[in-house]
Every structure is written in C-alpha cells, then in structure tokens.
Amino acid sequence: MHTPDIEREVRSFVITNFLFGQPLELQPEDSLLAGGVIDSTGVLELVDFLEERYAIKVEDAEVIPDNLDSIRNIATYVAKKISCVV
C-alpha cells in the first residue's frame, strides 16, 4: 500500500471520527493536537484504528507526535511499519 492511499484513508478516519464529517481546513501537515482535532482519548482511538486497519502493532514508544500528530506523519509512519512487516 502506498503512502498517499494511507494518507487518504487516515484523513477519512480523522474527518469521520473526530470532525464528524466536517473537513474544515485540515491540511496534511496540521498538528491534530494543537488544532484541537484530537485529544488524549482520540489518540487511543486512532491507535486502535491503525492497528486494526493495517495489522500493525503500535508500540508505546511510537505513540509520539512525530508519528501521530498530523495526517502526513501518520501515513509516513504506517507506510514504514507496513514495509517492516512485509
């Protein structure tokens, strides 16, 4: 799976679950936390989604802004994880 596809899916998940279908002006690089899009329990839901959808294990140490705080970071992180799995 390619990064742009993952990015599209993650964006759709974020919009459905955290913005309830209202895309606002969410740019791929925007900080989800600083923008008030997700909060601490939102991060847990996001991790559950990523683990289930992409069959990866998100380690505690990987739950950091560099991996999960923007749609682009998430897509890049997931792509890297998938390539490790394969």
In the complex, the residues that contact other proteins under the rule CB under 8 A are 16, 19-22, 33-36, 38-44, 60-61, 63-65, 68-69
CB 13, min distance to other proteins, A: 13
CB 17, min distance to other proteins, A: 9
Residue with Cβ nearer other proteins (30 or 80): 30
Q: Which two structure tokens, joined as six digits, stand for 46?
A: 């996001």
Residue with Cβ nearer other proteins (1 or 63): 63
CB 31, min distance to other proteins, A: 11
Residue with Cβ nearer other proteins (52 or 60): 60
As to burial, measured by CB atoms within 10 angstroms (0-12 exposed, 13-18 middle, 19+ buried), residue 37 is: buried
HEC sequence for 19-80? CCCCCCCCCCCCCCCCCCCCCHHHHHHHHHHHHHHHCCCCCHHHCCHHHHCCHHHHHHHHHH
